[in-house]
Structure 1
Amino acid sequence: MLPSTIELREADQPVVHRLPRAVAVGLAAANIATVAPTLGEDEYRVSGVRKVGVVRIAGHTVWLRPKTPVRRLFAMLGYARAGSAIWTEDDFGFEEDVDLVPALAHAFVRQASRALAGGPLRGYVTHEDALPLVRGRWRIGDQLTRRGGQPLPVEVSFDDYVEDITENQVLLSAATRLLRLPGVPADVLGALGRIMRVLDGVTVIPVGAPVPVVRPDRRNARYTSALALASLVLAGSSVEQRAGAVVASGFLVDMWSVFEDFVSAALREAFKPHGGVLVSQYQSTLDVEGTVKIAPDLVWLVDGEVRACIDVKYKVEKHGQYPNADLYQMAAYCRRFGLDEGWLVYAAGESEGRLIDVIAGPVIRLHAFELNRSPLVLAEYLSSLVLERRVG
């Protein structure tokens, strides 16, 4: 009998696994991995696993484990979401967790409990209602159109100072989602229950609904780390893919996106002292007619002019060689923007940078680093590259 709990590791190269057919279909349908049948019974060749976390498919729990240590992964996520270290590795409150969901659950309850230690935030919320008396502002137009001149009830709008505000809604919704995920440790379940009791009366954001953006200010400063983790919970737990009768649901993080967001945040900080602005997915065209669209991952704009171009690649070099297609692409970008130099940043590979001097073309700088190093160290490395090259 095939196991109800299945373990896969983030990987590029194909690995043969024994899987129930429904799980193989679900993994492919949710774009979690590339899955191909082999000649063996219930055996599938699984490759291209780029998402990590946990997913439940047709009654089976599939753990997708990252190559990057969980503590490093969390620190990268924190840096990517705030452009700085909004939490440190010591803030998470777990010691031995090697899987993403248990680590996330421990981190969330620790930060949310700290945020709510002084009681939930309160704020003013505007309500519109029909009341038997005037409260707040009388909406005369609505009174005439809805009530036909009748004096009661009175159409009014008023402000209430309540706990049912966006910050608390995000925290409560994250706690609710975590309770439904497989793999949440038993010691966390009680803490999640306490958080939900503290936030009793707050509205839960429905699954699939947009997560409201919370603007940081002095009033909600104590919620900063908890809200960052909560938004991560809500984004990752929104996965649901249906393929016929097979449903995949759980918590997933796209490692390619994590790496690109981290590099973007680190380079944005590095370019700040030099002025201009770093733009993601810069839209342009390669040909005169404007039919060949291009979108470099990052460009540095100064007074509307592209002064640097960077592409971020979550790839492992093969046999000591970087993919030629990446070099062709960067050479085309540099030619388009009139640049003498372009950058390719990889998630793994040689520790030292390499130079590719294109004949009658730009110099392409290739940089790669291992993600098991501290994100702050990696961010400093990226900053030093900007300083050394004195771009522009």
Structure 2
Amino acid sequence: MPREVAAGLVAARIADVSPTFFADEYRISGVRKVGVVRIAGHDVWIRPKTPVRRLFSMLGYARAGSAIWEDEDFGFAADEDLVPALAHAFERQASRALAGGALRGYVTRDDALPLVRGRWRIGDQLTRRGGQPLPVEVSFDDYVEDIAENQLVLTAATRLLRLPGVPADVVGRLRRVVRVLDGVTVIPVGAPVPVVRPDRRNARYSAVLPLASLVLSGASIEQRTGSLVGAGFLVDMWSVFEDFVTAALREAFRPYGGELVAQYASTLDVEGTVKIAPDLVWLVDGEVRACIDVKYKVEKHGQYPNVDLYQMAAYCRRFGLGEGWLVYAAGEEPGENAQLVDGPSICRLTLRTDTTPAVLGEQMRGIARRLARSLSAPA
């Protein structure tokens, strides 16, 4: 690949790039994202090992706590790559949501009008108008289409239209979505994305809003003056896997009581200066009963990194645990337990991410059963 593309991959922290002895040939490692990005005029595709339809199942579970994005309803299986699949699913759900016209809602506005409407802002009238009676500074509720739900859908559609790899037929349908939402405000790049809570009023948007949020969270690479890196849509696979495992295990642990807490903050030293934050801890009556760390990748040839054992050993020592648990997204066979000298036993489990959502859920329930059974067994 050209040198500019290699430099762009490093600048965007997409992967580690090392030159070889041959011109325009590089060794790529440490790939942290999947998706597509335009670098120096070239489209760079990063495909996940996990099938796209399974990737979206994990994304949906992590974001909503349930398998909200099923293959049959969203059509993810029809597309091989991440961006075409996402664009197709978003356009399909946006068209459904807008079939009856754009949603309307009440928005509070401040304005200066020739007559009193809503609430008269007397303080602003005095400071801005110097005592003049007209125009009148007022606040009122307006029933409009320019509401957060439509802003999310419109902004996601416009960003998808800028991405490389969106199929031509989907582009045409996305443009129709944009036309339906004419007059709605586009959320500027870098501005906070509004949080929309589901209710009866916006129920018909329930499927498209999570997809819109996904588009906005992944399409964070925008063209800057003098930059090699252009528009793109990239997803952190380690974050997807960790969020999915957290949401799925939290559901799987419900029958056993207690609370599964993510990123549990604590310290290793007496002075409290060495901070630690295990991915997951199981709290029962305020006491840490189990510690789980989630790892997306193992080393080459199926070997588990020793540093993971060191880390888990420190967690177990801190919380007085006889067992620690490492969950990997690799392999089909469970890893062997590691019994440390004068220390805890560390169990290494693997999850198959190339299977169905039902099987993934059963794997999570199996982990919860195994962990709960081991804690209840006599020493």
TM-score (norm 1): 0.90
User: Which of residues 95, 115, 119 is equivalent to 1:137?
Assistant: 119
Q: Which residue in the other structure is 1:304 paired with?
A: 286
Cα distance, 1:243–1:117 mapped onto 2, change above 3 Å? closer
Q: Which residue in the other structure is 1:117 paired with?
A: 99
Q: Which residue in the other structure is 2:316 paired with?
A: 334
CA distance, structure 2, for counterparts of residue 131 and residue 242 of structure 1: 40
Residue 85 of structure 1 contacts residue 376 of structure 1 at CA under 8 Å; is this kept in 2? no
- Structure 2 residue 19 is matched with structure 1 residue 37: yes
Q: Deviations over 1:295-319 (max 9, x none)?
A: 1111223343322211100113444
After TM superposition, the structure 1 = structure 2 runs for residues 1-392 of structure 1, keeping only pairs within 5 Å, are 19-93=1-75, 95-240=77-222, 245-352=227-334, 354-390=336-372
- Once the two structures are aligned, what percentage of the paired residues are identical? 77
Q: Deviations over 1:13-38 (max 9, x none)?
A: xxxxxx11100000011111110111
Unpaired runs of 5+ in structure 1? 1-18
CA distance, structure 2, for counterparts of residue 198 and residue 66 of structure 1: 34
Q: Deviations over 1:264-297 (max 9, x none)?
A: 1101111233343322222211011111111111
- Displacement of 1:137: 0.8
Cα distance, 1:137–1:223 mapped onto 2, change above 3 Å? same
CA distance, structure 2, for counterparts of residue 202 and residue 306 of structure 1: 49
Residue 156 of structure 2 contacts residue 215 of structure 2 at CA under 8 Å; is this kept in 1? yes
Residue 71 of structure 2 contacts residue 77 of structure 2 at CA under 8 Å; is this kept in 1? no
CA distance, structure 2, for counterparts of residue 95 and residue 327 of structure 1: 37
CA distance, structure 2, for counterparts of residue 331 and residue 244 of structure 1: 47
Residue 53 of structure 2 contacts residue 77 of structure 2 at CA under 8 Å; is this kept in 1? no
- Displacement of 1:211: 1.3
Q: Which residue in the other structure is 1:5 paired with?
A: none
**Which segment drifts farther, 377-386 or 92-101?**
92-101
Q: Secondary structure at the match of 2:253?
A: helix
CA distance, structure 2, for counterparts of residue 378 and residue 287 of structure 1: 38
TM-score (norm 2): 0.93
Residue 12 of structure 2 contacts residue 229 of structure 2 at CA under 8 Å; is this kept in 1? no
Q: Secondary structure at the match of 2:187?
A: coil
Equivalent AA in structure 2 for residue 365 of structure 1: C
Residue 351 of structure 2 contacts residue 363 of structure 2 at CA under 8 Å; is this kept in 1? no
Residue 355 of structure 1 contacts residue 365 of structure 1 at CA under 8 Å; is this kept in 2? yes
Total equivalences in the alignment:
374
Q: Secondary structure at the match of 2:207?
A: helix
Unpaired runs of 5+ in structure 2? none
Q: Deviations over 1:246-265 (max 9, x none)?
A: 23431111111111111011
